[in-house]
Amino acid sequence: MKLTALISCVLAVLLIPTGVARADSNDDNFVKVLADQGITGDPNQLVTEGHTACDDISNAHLATSLPRWTRTPAFGPVMGDLGLSVFQAGFFISAAESAYCPQFLGVGR
């Protein structure tokens, strides 16, 4: 019985870091993709803005039946908060879609 409890505890400890590492890896990849295109800044802010862009796209997608407009609400906040050009904002939003909301990737183009 003690052996079973010990094995359960060891397995629980081993499985916890795997989930955390996967999330960090996704964020790290997102920040790296942005940096490769010259979009840099505080990694936490970039990740937060990426999630916010997906939220904006999701809300617009639910509010309209015109998919070509679904990305539009995300441009203003991304450009304003991060000081990006329209071209950079478009790249940022595409990277955010790839990383955090792939269900919207390609919608609105």
> C-alpha distances in angstroms, 100 versus 9, 10, 103?
32, 31, 9
The more confident residue out of 92 and 63 is: 92
Q: How does DSSP classify residue 84?
A: -
pLDDT at 62 over 90: no
> Per-residue pLDDT tens for 11-39?
443 444 434 444 579 999 999 999 999 99
Q: Write down the pLDDT at residue 46.
A: 97
Q: Which residues contact 60 (CB under 8 A, 6 or more apart)?
A: 69, 70, 71, 72, 73, 74
pTM greater than the 0.75 cutoff: no
> C-alpha distances in angstroms, 22 versus 7, 29, 62, 97, 104?
24, 11, 29, 17, 21
The more confident residue out of 49 and 4 is: 49
